[in-house]
């Protein structure tokens, strides 16, 4: 037995000739069978089965105006479970609408994002969903995208007016910080992303607002805003805790910073380093938070839901049920006390 490699996919013509009909009859049968005699339909379907025929979707969508059934999705980091869940949400809604997703990972790289978007457009995607890298917006302008609708998720792009799905970053950070203040803390550290990261800026704003509203000054010595990964976060936490006047509580603006802070707290406990056992508020959930040696409050949200909302917004443009100016959906977050 030789392999089947090299055997071209059968075409509609081959199905037609095997069923003894014209290609059009096959096409009509596959399209639902309107105006095709039942017995003919059966002959056609038999031929389809025997040949292992699959309709060529690319050829099908060649005709302008025909949807390709593809949604282009570009995210910044698939390895982050947050974005995995996001992608899952998008995929679910796309599947519910009979669409498939083409997925690209940008790795926070501008050039890569541009490249992905071009490719997506070239593949005739019906729509685009992306978690933008904080770059410029030229390649996302309507005149570049033509009629392809775009939804941004998690972040905005400066100067680009597009449908957007966000979390309530400011509100969540505000409430989380307020919870610490209510518990009597006044020396509250901040761990987060640099301000050029959209969510980093917003979450800092929430923290800052809660502090100043209560008349508690923000001390730059215990604000660290440039940690993108767990190791950097650990180091930042360490430096903060080593101060003569360390924070009694920490607001962590995302999962990576929280894990880093926890590692450092754990290290100090294991090594018997004296000093604070700071309470922690974490924007983003993490597993086993209940086993941590310090009280942890979680600002929780649902990335999958965010993905579903993004896709829903996109499809509302695609089916024409939403028109007009760009919309922003801001999803609520919930505070879970220890």
Partner DNA sequence: CTGTTAGCGCCTTCAA
Partner DNA sequence: TTGAAGGCGCTAACAG
Binding site for a second copy (CB under 8 A): 3-9, 52, 54-59, 61-62, 64-65, 68, 70, 77-81, 83-85, 87-88, 91-92, 95, 100-105, 118-119, 121-124, 142-147, 149, 259, 262-263, 266, 270, 286-288, 290-293, 304
- DSSP β-bridge partners for residue 284: none
Q: How far apart are CA 176 and CA 3, in angstroms?
A: 62
Q: Please report how close the Cβ of residue 84 comes to a second copy at its closest, in angstroms.
A: 3
Partner in contact with 209, chosen from DNA, a second copy, none, beta carbon below 5 to 8 Å by kind:
none
Q: Please report how close the Cβ of residue 66 comes to DNA at its closest, in angstroms.
A: 7
Residue for token pair 């400011």: 170
Cβ distance to a second copy smaller for residue 77 or 316: 77
Cβ distance to a second copy smaller for residue 25 or 258: 258
Q: Which of residues 8-27 bind DNA (CB under 7 A)?
A: 8, 11-13, 21-25, 27
Residue ranges of alpha helices (H) inside the chain are 12-19, 23-30, 38-51, 57-60, 81-96, 110-122, 142-145, 169-182, 198-213, 230-241, 255-271, 303-318
Partner in contact with 5, chosen from a second copy, DNA, none, beta carbon below 5 to 8 Å by kind:
a second copy
The strands making up 279-283's β-sheet, listed across from edge to edge, are 223-224, 188-191, 249-252, 279-283, 296-300, 334-336
46 interacts with DNA by CB under 7 A: no
DSSP string, 121-151: HHTT-SEEEE---SS--GGGSHHHHTT--EE
Cβ distance to DNA smaller for residue 8 or 270: 8
Cα Rg, the chain, nearest whole Å: 26
| Piece in contact with DNA (CB under 7 A), picked from 4-12, 154-162, 164-172, 246-254 | 4-12
Partner in contact with 278, chosen from a second copy, DNA, none, beta carbon below 5 to 8 Å by kind:
none
Q: How far apart are CA 69 and CA 65, in angstroms?
A: 12
Q: Please report how close the Cβ of residue 281 comes to a second copy at its closest, in angstroms.
A: 17
328-331 vs 163-167, strand pairing mode:
parallel
Choosing from 42, 45, 51, 60, the residue that interacts with DNA (CB under 7 A) is 60
Partner in contact with 138, chosen from a second copy, DNA, none, beta carbon below 5 to 8 Å by kind:
none
Partner in contact with 336, chosen from a second copy, DNA, none, beta carbon below 5 to 8 Å by kind:
none
Q: Could you give the angle at the alpha carbon of 168 between the alpha carbons of 163 and 172, nearest 5°? A: 170
Choosing from 4, 63, 220, 290, the residue that interacts with DNA (CB under 7 A) is 63
Burial group, residue 127, by CB count within 10 angstroms (0-12, 13-18, 19+): buried
55 interacts with DNA by CB under 7 A: yes
* Binding site residues, DNA, CB under 7 A: 8, 11-13, 21-25, 27-28, 30-31, 35-37, 40, 55-56, 59-60, 62-64
């Amino acid at each position: 037995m030789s392999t089947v490699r090299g055997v071209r996919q059968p075409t509609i013509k081959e199905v037609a000739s095997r069923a003894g009909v014209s290609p059009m009859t096959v096409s009509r049968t596959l399209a639902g069978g309107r105006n095709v005699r039942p017995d003919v339909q059966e002959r056609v379907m038999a031929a389809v089965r025997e040949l292992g025929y699959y309709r060529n979707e690319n050829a099908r969508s060649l005709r302008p105006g025909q949807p390709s059934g593809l949604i282009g999705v570009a995210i910044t980091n698939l390895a982050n479970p947050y974005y995995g869940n996001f992608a899952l949400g998008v995929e679910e809604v796309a599947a519910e609408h009979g669409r498939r997703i083409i997925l690209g990972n940008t790795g926070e790289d501008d050039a890569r994002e541009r490249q992905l978007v071009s490719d997506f457009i070239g593949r005739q995607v019906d729509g685009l969903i992306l978690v933008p890298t904080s770059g410029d917006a030229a390649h996302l302008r309507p005149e570049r995208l033509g009629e392809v609708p775009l939804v941004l998720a998690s972040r905005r792009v400066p100067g680009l007016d597009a449908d957007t799905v966000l979390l309530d970053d400011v509100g969540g950070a505000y409430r989380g910080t307020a919870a610490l203040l209510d518990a009597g803390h006044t020396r509250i550290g901040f761990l987060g992303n640099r301000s050029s990261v959209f969510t980093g800026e917003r979450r800092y704003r929430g923290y800052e607002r809660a502090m100043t509203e209560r008349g508690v000054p923000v001390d730059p010595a215990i604000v660290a805003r440039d940690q993108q990964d767990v190791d950097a976060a650990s180091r930042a936490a360490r430096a903060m805790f080593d101060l003569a006047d360390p924070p009694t509580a920490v607001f962590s603006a995302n999962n990576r910073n929280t894990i880093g802070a926890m590692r450092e707290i754990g290290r100090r406990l294991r090594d018997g380093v004296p000093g604070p056992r700071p309470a922690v508020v974490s924007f983003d959930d993490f597993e086993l938070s209940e086993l941590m040696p310090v009280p942890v409050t979680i600002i929780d949200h649902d990335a999958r839901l965010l993905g579903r909302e993004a896709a829903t917004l996109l499809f509302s443009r695609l089916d024409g049920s939403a028109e007009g100016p760009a919309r922003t959906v801001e999803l609520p977050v919930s505070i879970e006390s220890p």
